[in-house]
Amino acid sequence: MGAGYPSRVTSTEDFATYIAGLPRILAGAAALFRDAAGRVLLVEPNYREGWALPGGTIESDDGETPRQGARRETLEEIGLDRDLGRLLAVDWVYRPTWPPLVAYLYDGGVLTDDEFKAIRLQEEELLSWRLVPREELAEYLPGTLGHRVLAALDALADGAGTAELENGHRVG
């Protein structure tokens, strides 16, 4: 079947049955913020171990786009409402027993000292934030997310287009 809706769906019930039978894919979006020295802004969630980027689940049922989701999550999590730059990476993440995840990573830009001072953490979800140099990112972001962030930094540095990734690794 093609990427569109089927032409033989004749009722709301048929459509609901069709949709219920489709594979499930989760979608998330985040922003990559840096300081003038190139360090990456990471946040520490209180609901799991480790560190992350400002971002989260795209509310696609409400019509939210990946870019809108990254901006909304940034505002909610760290209190900054900024236009985001270009799409740096798209990552297809698959783990057995989990639905696949499509993760979008946008350029949040270089923040000023005043913007860092304006950060207000969403206390319901976050414990702290910090700036981490590239060479230490693997310590804070092991696995797929760490690879995604490094690929995004490479895309920024070399001016290449969006990095297409699978489980954090470049495709092709």
pLDDT digits (tens, 9 = 90+) for 68-109: 999 999 999 999 999 999 999 999 999 998 899 999 999 999
Length of the chain counted residue by residue? 172
2 pLDDT band (50/70/90 cuts)? low
Cβ contact 148:123 at 8 Å: no
Note the pLDDT of residue 101: 95
Transcribe 88-136 into DSSP letters. EEEEEE--TTS--EEEEEEEEEEPPHHHHHT----TTTEEEEEEE-GGG
